Amino acid sequence: MINKNISNWLNDQKKKQFLKVEKKDLFKLIKWIYNKREIYHKSKKFFKITGIRIKTNFYKKKNWDQPIIVQNEQGILGIIKNKKTKKYLLQAKVEPGNKNKLQLSPTVQATKSNYQRIHKGKKTPYLNFFKGNKVKFISQSEQGYRYLSKFNKNSIVEIEKKIKVLKNFFWLSRKDLKYLIKRKSMLNMDTVSVFSSFVRKNTTDLPFKKMNEINNWIRQNDKIFKLKIKIKPLVNLINWKVTPDNISHKSNKHFSVIGINTLCNKREITKWDQPIIKGKRMAFAGYLIKEFNNTEHYLCKYNKKPGLKKSTLSCTANTSDLDSFKTNNNLTSFEKKMIRDFFLNKKNKYKKIYDNILSDEGGRFFNCEIIYKVLKLSNKTKVKIPSNYFWISQNQMIEMIKRKKVDIEARLLFGCVNIDKII
């Protein structure tokens, strides 16, 4: 069970933090401009929504158009750790896109435009701890289907001295985090993203394959699979329509872009408008784990995403619409088989390592949630994997994360099951 002090603090924050979000005409968003080509902020900061054309041989669908978020600046996702107590300072924070409104965020969760106060609002608390040459950051990619080349700087900073703790912040132990990660959408994705970048390696790790074999496997797939993008005006996107209500696909099967107005009382500013990505259905991300040489290995997929210049490792199965996975043309027959026979098979007897629903980042994504699952197979279970899959050990996963080679869904899920092993 969770510490009573934390529970009381969370309940208190839920009462004190007000949030009201209303849908608004995309063309009437205050301080935002739509010029048919894109939607952008008058300051030319923060982010913009534009269109892209994708050409690839990686998916069954060889080319398509879509809107995408362009946010060239890197934000800071930083968590303060007390070296003596080994506790982590997190904040209770509301985001307009959070379905449950309030979640636990990193100590600092801010875009460059935010911490530079382009909005002319309050200062970002604790930002000074993440400035200077001594701070070690790991740059990690964001959602590769909905962001174009978006990276954030992840960091955990250790301190020894006591610091003043603001009312919407709280110190949490690894035990607290282990409990909260099993609760629906309590730790926000940015918090988990930071922790996933700082998992300790095992003292004993006997990989099924060596790192040079993984690197060769990636290089071989890179030679085979190509993906190119071209910026296109929103108004010219094929099979997409732009209206004051939203930017949506004509099939009504995919995500959309809507406008919202946000009112709150505990953010840098208390009122703002913005465009935001709205998901259509419940997404899914899952790992299969199996032991080789008494070492846990994760079944990873080689992947190409339109928003990322380089290839990445994804989890075993990943889809933006779990309900319609059977008819999803971009899922391979192997992925469909994994979802059907393992992740959605209620009769299977494999050990369930993790099963929970977490939100996408609520500042850019509206009511978007993902089912995360990890199953551990018995040693007797044989899985014949295609050439674009690879079994990767625990320590190899940590190394690939440090190399920025693991996409955000796979990284988050890895962080969820290893949250008690963070530094």
For residue 130, count other CB atoms closer than 10 A to its CB: 22
- Residue 103: predicted pLDDT: 97
- In percent, the amount of the chain with pLDDT more than 90 equals 89
Q: pTM here?
A: 0.95
Residue 375 within any structural domain of the chain: yes
Are 296 and 375 contacting, i.e. CB atoms less than 8 angstroms apart? no
pLDDT digits (tens, 9 = 90+) for 65-114: 999 999 999 999 999 999 999 999 999 999 999 999 999 999 999 988 88
Q: pLDDT band for position 348 (50/70/90)?
A: confident
Q: What single letter denotes the amino acid at residue 311? A: S
Alpha helices in 2-46 (DSSP H): 4-16
pLDDT digits (tens, 9 = 90+) for 188-242: 999 999 999 999 999 889 998 999 999 999 999 999 999 999 999 999 999 999 9
For the chain, give the mean pLDDT.
Answer: 95
Residue 222 within any structural domain of the chain: yes
Residue 395: which of 420, 418, 365, 370 has the closest Cα?
418
Are 336 and 174 contacting, i.e. CB atoms less than 8 angstroms apart? no
- Residue 349: predicted pLDDT: 82
- CATH code, domain with 323: 3.90.79.40
Residue 158 within any structural domain of the chain: no
Q: pLDDT band for position 133 (50/70/90)?
A: confident
- Residue 280: predicted pLDDT: 85
pLDDT digits (tens, 9 = 90+) for 3-27: 888 999 999 999 999 999 999 999 9
Cα separation values, 198 from 16, 156, 184, 311, Å: 32, 8, 23, 22
- Residue 329: predicted pLDDT: 83
Residue 269 within any structural domain of the chain: no
Residue 52 within any structural domain of the chain: no
User: Is 1 a residue whose pLDDT tops 80?
Assistant: no
Q: How far apart are CA 66 and CA 240, in angstroms?
A: 7
What is the widest separation between alpha-carbon atoms in the chain? Answer: 60
Distance, C-alpha 368 to centroid of its chain: 11
pLDDT digits (tens, 9 = 90+) for 42-66: 999 999 999 999 999 999 999 999 9
Q: pLDDT band for position 119 (50/70/90)?
A: confident
- Residue 214: predicted pLDDT: 97
Q: How many domains does the chain have?
A: 1
- Where is 312: in which H helix or E strand? strand 312-314
Q: What is the DSSP string of 244-291?
A: SS-EEETTS-S-EEEEEEEEESSSSSSEEEEEEEE--S-EEEEEEEEE
Residue 303 within any structural domain of the chain: yes
Residue 260 within any structural domain of the chain: no
Residue 100 within any structural domain of the chain: no
Are 272 and 360 contacting, i.e. CB atoms less than 8 angstroms apart? no
- In percent, the amount of the chain with pLDDT more than 70 equals 100
Domain with 293, as residue range(s), is: 211-228+280-421
- Residue 181: predicted pLDDT: 96
